[in-house]
Structure 1
Amino acid sequence: MELRFDGEVIWWRGPAPFHFVALPDEPAARLREVASRVTYGWGCIPATVTLGGTTFTTSIFPKDGGFLVPVKTAARRAEGVELGDDVSLVVVVEDPDAPPPAPVEEAPAAARRRPVHDPADDDDYFDPAAG
Structure 2
Amino acid sequence: MSGFRFEATVVHWRGPSPFFFAPVPPPCGDEIKRLSTFVTYGWGMIPVEATIDGVTFSTSLFPKNESYLLPLKAKVRQKLNLTAGDTISVEMRVQPAQRR
TM over 0.5: yes
- SS class of match (1:30): helix
Secondary structure at the counterpart of residue 10 of structure 2 = strand
Question: Can you give the 5+ residue segments of structure 2 that lack an aligned partner in the other structure?
Answer: none
User: Superposition RMSD on alpha carbons, in Å?
Assistant: 1.4
Q: Is the 8 A contact 2:46 2:62 kept in 1?
A: yes
> Counterparts in 2 of 1:27-38, with a 5 A limit?
27-38=28-39
**CA deviation vs aligned residue, 1:25-81 (integer Å, no higher than 9, x gap):** 111111011011110000001111111111111110001221000011111111121
Instruction: Give unmatched runs, 5+ long, in structure 1.
Output: 97-131
Alignment deviations for residues 61-108 of structure 1 (CA, whole Å, 9 cap, x no partner): 001221000011111111121211000011111257xxxxxxxxxxxx
Select the structure of larger CA radius of gyration: 1
| Map of 2:93 onto structure 1 | 92
Q: Which runs of 4+ in 1 moved over 4 A?
A: none
Q: Which has the higher strand share?
A: 2
Deviation at 1:15, TM superposition (A): 4.5
Determine which structure has greater relative contact order: mean sequence separation of CA pairs < 8 Å that are 6+ residues apart, divided by chain length: 2
- TM-superposition CA deviations, 1:3-44 (whole Å, max 9, x none): 110000001134432100111111111101101111000000
Aligned length, in residue pairs: 96
